[in-house]
């Protein structure tokens, strides 16, 4: 069995190691460093450019880094992840020609609710050679029925890229304890939300709070259309959820989450990864919906 954890990433079969997935994606290249070439032809060795060799030539990954920056490969992170949770990789994506890496692991069995709905505890790892992503692990709940990935927060952050970077990555006991705690707390919220029924009148009130329409006659047509499209999208997903699991608060939560995770990101890997990394910035409607719904539970 395989699940498409991050849309359009490299999906892998259950039981695959991160190492195998990374090799298949060409993610284990060895970065190289060169001094900065100045206009007069001299080389400045106080700043450096990180690059990689490819079949089509050289590719710049990070320009202008300072002395002390560690341009090591992704191999240590991949090896560490496999050592913590072997043969558990579910997806992997090499982005920006190798400047960023993202992969996910399933670390629990699928939890199935009485209504057939289910959630799985997962981890997302990030790393980069262009300083845009820290080497870190984030927890998220994967929902197979709709491929939603619901952020559970930062699990552990590695140190910045220095020459000692590879000596301090992650500790399995801490990663496992924190991710299980976050997942278990979320599972409790899910159980409560499933018990709260949403009427048509209640749905309209929630939509007015989470996805209000613009009624100002002087408003820009583009803004008016966007607001209407957003509400229509959430209503569409809520209808789908209600048909399967009933018109309850959990269905509304997933309707909003589906809209932000799939429609707003246009199912692009890097944007979906950002939702898991920074839900406060990238999933504001879902967080607002969750607060409103939890107040009803």
- The residue with greater pLDDT, 51 or 297, is 51
200 CB contacts (<8 Å, ≥6 apart)?
none
pLDDT exceeds 60 at position 106:
yes
Mean pLDDT of the chain: 90
pLDDT exceeds 70 at position 3:
no
Rounded average pLDDT over 257-267: 94
Rounded average pLDDT over 52-68: 89
174-212 pLDDT, tens per residue? 888 999 999 999 999 999 999 999 999 999 999 999 999
Rounded average pLDDT over 6-25: 79
Give residue 1's pLDDT.
Answer: 40
Q: Measuring CA to CA, how many Å separate 233 from each of 20, 64, 193, 206, 272?
A: 38, 43, 21, 14, 18
pTM for this structure?
0.90
In angstroms, how far apart are the furthest CA atoms of the chain?
Answer: 72
* pLDDT confidence band for 157 (50 / 70 / 90): confident
211-237 pLDDT, tens per residue? 999 999 999 999 999 999 999 999 999
Nearest to 77 by CA among 158, 146, 198: 158
Rounded average pLDDT over 123-136: 92
Mutual angle of helices 200-210 and 221-245, in 10-degree steps: 140
pLDDT exceeds 80 at position 154:
yes
Please list the residues that pair with 140 across neighbouring strands.
122, 151
């Amino acid at each position: 069995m395989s699940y498409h954890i991050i849309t359009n990433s490299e999906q892998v079969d259950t039981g695959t190691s991160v190492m195998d997935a990374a090799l298949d994606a060409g993610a284990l290249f060895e970065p190289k460093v060169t001094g900065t070439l100045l206009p007069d032809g001299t080389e400045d060795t106080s700043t450096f450019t990180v690059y990689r060799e490819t079949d089509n030539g050289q590719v710049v990954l990070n320009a202008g880094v300072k002395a002390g920056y560690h341009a090591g490969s992704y191999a240590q992170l991949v090896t560490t992840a496999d050592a913590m949770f072997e043969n558990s990789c579910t997806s992997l994506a090499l982005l920006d020609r190798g400047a960023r890496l993202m992969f996910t692991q399933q670390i629990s069995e699928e939890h199935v609710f009485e209504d057939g709905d289910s959630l799985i505890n997962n981890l997302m790892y990030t790393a980069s050679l262009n300083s845009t992503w820290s080497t870190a692990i984030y927890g998220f709940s994967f929902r197979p029925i709709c491929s939603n990935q619901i952020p559970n927060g930062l699990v552990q952050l590695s140190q910045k890229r220095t020459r000692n970077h590879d000596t301090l990555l992650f500790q399995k006991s801490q990663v496992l304890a924190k991710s299980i705690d976050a997942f278990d707390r979320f599972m409790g919220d899910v159980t409560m939300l499933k018990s709260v029924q949403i009427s048509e009148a209640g749905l309209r009130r929630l939509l007015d709070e989470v996805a209000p329409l613009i009624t100002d006659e002087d408003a820009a047509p583009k803004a008016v259309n966007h607001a209407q499209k957003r509400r229509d999208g959430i209503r569409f997903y809520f209808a789908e959820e209600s048909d399967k699991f009933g018109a309850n608060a959990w269905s509304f939560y997933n309707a909003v989450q589906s809209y932000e995770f799939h429609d707003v990101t246009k199912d692009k890997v890097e944007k979906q990864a950002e939702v898991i990394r920074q839900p406060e910035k990238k999933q504001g409607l879902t967080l607002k919906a969750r607060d409103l719904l939890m107040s009803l539970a």
